Structure 1
């Protein structure tokens, strides 16, 4: 099995780069490339690769490649250009590209949960009501974790960010830097994806203010989704079914063998990023994540509506047709 790993994949958990792949019309010499990010919500991709699950479900003779990505935009571009045939990505990029006219479908989920709101211990924050005038950080403006935090604050506490002339100051930065920023006092609050929330807890630089179940869409919104192109669905639905079957096998393996799946995640993340997460960090992060392939179009639409209500999307989104559950039913 061929793996494609670029030289830029070092240093940080979020620094992942893509390679390339293709699909041939001749089923006997087919080549399928699967993309994912080496992070905790994409463990199904790591398990499928480590356990060689795609070769179990794809037609005999199929060559399977893997690509690792730095961000959702790069992933979706690779999907649209045919450099990859399917894989795991965050729901935001999938929805954004769909509403921009991309012919893509979400055919399964990857996981749910994993977003945590954390506060600096000496910032005089006892509850979210104390965040007026405080500085919070998110990975990017309007990203999944940003929307989850701002929807919670607006809907439950009537607080908004300075992006819309609100009371909270918003900055952006990589989650790997949050622990140091808490330690130096540069931020008061962060909306943190796992495993960085568990890493920060272990470092002791911040405390949990709002845990995953109480964040907006915390346990229902897919933190990762499995996508493919509409062209592949139309031209070769049997191939898509074989691809999704392998993803389902990987998800069921994680559910049935969590300890082995954790070991695979630690080793694969280290192999790709040259960073090793401790077993205690993985254990804590695991408790906040549910690995599932079931996906709800209704929850995705509600999340998209929140993005619009917060002003991250100019137009009211319509996700009708984005989710195709026929391959998991």
Structure 2
């Protein structure tokens, strides 16, 4: 018994080592399997992400689900009024949903564009320039023109010349807007000082257009630099007279034709344009068709359709003499008249609403030229 105990002990010890080695081997194999599964999962996840990214990439370059478009209820924005209300833009967008927002003036539209509330907008050139300058060229691209002309300084009949404006109160649609800049720059050339807060030799009160008409009728304003139809409404409905027609300030050295200057252009958020070039091209096709319709349609029918669009947007049509006078003052064109932009920038600098800057890159007219099969020039300030 005593002699067998050591043998039994040796046998038990040997038997106990075998399961231990087996368990260690099993554990090592299990750990290896877990590691292999983990690595496989990581690889599969990476492949899945790459696959998903590849699948998402073409979609990000395809048509947008929705185009949010801004414009104003002005006759100078007739290409938008016609394009939206007669379906030219929606038709050319295909499956992309069109939604619209109506603004009173450019700075508000730019704010909405930069905030992502809209993707593109019809607007005056100076707010577009200001946004481009402030963002160092990252915010917007000008992709087409829409209208030339149709902006005037109208005043009380007793005001005969610029010399009579000292101490008077004038209105513009919004501080930093195209008409506001034109007014301030023109006053500076007449020797008057103005300030953004309404001080200076001539007080400028940025005022919504409809309110400007009422204030002028009530005798609380001496005049206003406004786009159509508001210039015509002030003249025909409130007894104002034209002191300055802005077309007379453009001698043609910038465009080759006296009186040409951009009142309305079409701009797009640069990021949206990069992601959805097909949608931008569809917008431009509809825009070009709208401009063509405006230029080819007899005056009476054109006035009727534009007035109907205004009524749909604002709830009220214009008097016939107002819309007739307004349309006579405007030329509709897809050319943004790029040669005028250095002067427009300088006007903004003189007005104190922007700073001197390089405008190279503000235009991208490639899609416009593809759509229209023309060669509209960017005047060295971008791509055409």
Flag whether TM exceeds 0.5 (same fold): yes
- Who is 1:89 aligned against? 123
Which has the larger helix fraction? 2
- Who is 2:312 aligned against? 271
Whether 2:234 is the aligned partner of 1:190: answer no
Whether 2:277 is the aligned partner of 1:237: answer yes
What is the CA distance between 1:74 and its match in structure 2? Answer: 4.3
- Who is 1:305 aligned against? 346
Superposed CA deviations along residues 14-60 of structure 1, whole A, max 9, x for unmatched, are: xxxxxxxxxx749588433332222211111121122222344334x
- Who is 2:43 aligned against? none
Provide structure 2 residue ranges, at least 5 long, that are not aligned to the other structure.
1-58, 252-257, 370-384
TM-score w.r.t. structure 1 length?
Answer: 0.80
Residues 38-57 of structure 1 correspond to what in structure 2 (within 5 A)? 38-57=73-92
Is the CA contact (8 Å cut-off) linking 2:284 and 2:368 kept in structure 1? yes
Is the CA contact (8 Å cut-off) linking 2:125 and 2:264 kept in structure 1? yes
What is the CA distance between 1:321 and its match in structure 2? Answer: 0.8
- Who is 1:227 aligned against? 267
Greater RCO (CA < 8 Å, at least 6 residues apart): 1
Whether 2:329 is the aligned partner of 1:280: answer no
What is the CA distance between 1:227 and its match in structure 2? Answer: 1.2
Cα distance in 1 for residues equivalent to 2:192 and 2:174:
19
- Who is 1:170 aligned against? 204
Cα distance in 2 for residues equivalent to 1:137 and 1:174:
9
Is the CA contact (8 Å cut-off) linking 1:112 and 1:222 kept in structure 2? yes
The SS at the match of 2:352 is coil
Cα distance in 2 for residues equivalent to 1:83 and 1:150:
30
Is the CA contact (8 Å cut-off) linking 1:89 and 1:226 kept in structure 2? yes
Is the CA contact (8 Å cut-off) linking 2:105 and 2:173 kept in structure 1? no
Of 57, 66, 69, which residue of structure 1 is paired with 2:100? 66
The SS at the match of 1:210 is strand
Cα distance in 2 for residues equivalent to 1:71 and 1:210:
20
- Who is 1:4 aligned against? none
What is the CA distance between 1:133 and its match in structure 2? Answer: 3.0
- Who is 1:181 aligned against? 215
Is the CA contact (8 Å cut-off) linking 1:118 and 1:210 kept in structure 2? yes
Residues 71-82 of structure 1 correspond to what in structure 2 (within 5 A)? 71-82=105-116
What is the CA distance between 1:165 and its match in structure 2? Answer: 7.2
Cα distance in 2 for residues equivalent to 1:230 and 1:205:
44
Cα distance in 1 for residues equivalent to 2:140 and 2:125:
12
TM-score w.r.t. structure 2 length?
Answer: 0.70
Cα distance in 2 for residues equivalent to 1:311 and 1:28:
40
Is the CA contact (8 Å cut-off) linking 1:149 and 1:215 kept in structure 2? no
Superposed CA deviations along residues 83-104 of structure 1, whole A, max 9, x for unmatched, are: 4332312223222222221431
- Who is 1:16 aligned against? none
- Who is 2:302 aligned against? 261
Of 183, 193, 196, which residue of structure 2 is paired with 1:160? 193
Say which one has the larger Rg: 2
Provide structure 1 residue ranges, at least 5 long, that are not aligned to the other structure.
1-23
Is the CA contact (8 Å cut-off) linking 1:30 and 1:63 kept in structure 2? yes
Cα distance in 1 for residues equivalent to 2:100 and 2:205:
34
- Who is 2:382 aligned against? none
Is the CA contact (8 Å cut-off) linking 2:179 and 2:227 kept in structure 1? yes
Q: Aligned Cα RMSD in Å? A: 2.8
